[in-house]
Amino acid sequence: MTNAIVPNIAAAKAADRCTMLSRRGLRLKEEGVAEFKLTPLFFSSACCVIEQKASIEESTNLTIAQNFPVFLDHQKTSMVGDFWNIVLFVWFKSWPEEKALFGQDHGELSLDQCVQVDKKIKNWFNNEVVKGHHTQSIKSMEAVFASLLHPKGTCAKQWSEIFSNLYYDKKIMPVVQAEVAAHVKEPMHAEMIKIIHTKTHPVFKEAEDNIKEEVEVIYQAGLAFVCLQCLQRVQDCLLAFLKYTFNTVAHLMGWHGTVIFGGPSPKAGSKLESIFLVGKTPSGVNFGQSYEQWEAILANYAGYLKEAFHKFPI
């Protein structure tokens, strides 16, 4: 290991903390030359232009080529993690943070200076990259409820799908076989699926009325079952969702509120249930505790539910 590339302990620690900025990969070629791909997470940022990306890759490959014997030494002793401290220390020297903070000829960095450089890099990363990733992951209220009501794999079977399950051999397969016979070569699996889907709907459209009625009964039963699942899923998470919404409104606007929900519960055999969330001010004043008529409001609302949902048990 040459002294020219070994940083002091403080700089090594600072470089170690900077490893969060990169994904690492090392591939050894047959001739023994290492081709190193260090892809910083901030490559996705609009602030990192194509020229910068090319410069980063060029300097990175040069750094690893110069330090390849050092990598082999660390690999033999199972200390590859320490090797990255050295490489990242040298690699980050090509970035302007140190020059911006301490000038062109700043010499060896002290511990405090290493911490300042580390903080500057992390601040840039958090402001330019993490913020963008968070923005991309934000979902609207409509998207959240849509995912609750219609999660993947829980949609009710459609009419043509039910018809295919019941009458494929008798009604659909002869039409599909005739279509396949017209092909010059046997269709691939994906093509077969497409043919089946294409032919099923017209066959169902021409089916007898009693068959359509049978399919409709099964469809409505499946639709009702899926709807009950969706309603129960929303009810289970409703209180937590309301708490999150109310806390967000209180934090951003300083507002507070009270809400009451009620209706038949699928889990309780359509028995009437109610959910209420009582808001409070930042100082802790609770509307339910401060308003003497709160219990009367709940009683009146329960009476309203009985009238609105009179066909459901209480």
Q: Does some domain include residue 147?
A: no
In a domain, 142, yes or no: no
Cα-based distances in Å from 293 to 214, 256, 279 = 54, 19, 15
DSSP code, position 292 = T
Query: Does 229 share its domain with 260?
Result: no
Count CA atoms within 13 Å of residue 233 on its CB side: 15
- Match 């401060």 to its residue by tokens: 290
Helix, strand, or coil (residue 23) = strand
Q: What sign for the dihedral angle of Cα 299, 304, 307, 312?
A: negative
Query: What is the tally of structural domains in the chain?
Result: 3
3-state SS assignment for residue 212: helix
- In the block, which residue shows the tokens 């009582």? 278
Last residue of one domain, picked from the residues 253, 281, 300: 253
The verdict on residue 143 lying in a domain is: no
Same domain, 25 and 119: yes
Q: Retrieve residue 295's tokens.
A: 């219990």
Comparing CA positions, the residue from 14, 6, 124 lying closest to residue 73 is 6
The amino acid present at 290, given as its one-letter code, is: S
Same domain, 103 and 50: yes
Token representation of residue 22 = 């990169």
Query: Residue 11 is inside which H or E element, if any?
Result: helix 9-17
Both 9 and 58 in a single domain? yes
Q: Could you count the other beta carbons within 10 Å of the beta carbon of residue 71?
A: 19
Q: Is the dihedral of CA 243, 244, 246, 251 positive or negative?
A: positive
Question: Does residue 223 sit within a domain?
Answer: yes
Structure tokens at 308: 């609105």
Last residue in a domain, options 235, 253, 271: 253
Query: Residue-wise pLDDT tens for the chain (314 aa)?
Result: 333 333 334 344 444 433 333 333 333 333 343 444 444 433 344 444 444 445 555 555 666 667 777 778 877 887 777 777 666 666 666 666 777 777 777 777 788 887 787 777 777 666 655 554 444 444 555 566 666 655 555 566 777 788 888 888 888 888 888 888 887 778 888 888 888 888 888 888 888 888 888 888 887 777 666 666 667 777 777 777 787 788 778 777 878 888 888 888 777 777 888 888 887 776 777 788 778 888 888 888 888 888 888 766 55
Domain that residue 54 falls in: 3-135
Contact between 86 and 69 (Cβ < 8 Å): no
- Domain annotation covers residue 207: yes
- In this structure, is residue 20 part of a structural domain? yes
Domain shared by 109 and 53, yes or no: yes
- Cα separation, 128 vs 56, whole angstroms: 18
- The CA distance from 168 to 157, in Å, is 15
* Partner residues linked to 165 by β-bridges: none
**193 shares its domain with 173:** yes
Which of 106, 135, 164 marks a domain boundary? Answer: 135
Q: Of 308, 312, 314, 246, give the one whose Cα is nearest residue 282.
A: 246
Q: Are 25 and 83 contained in the same domain?
A: yes
Instruction: Tell me, yes or no, whether 150 lies in a domain.
Output: no
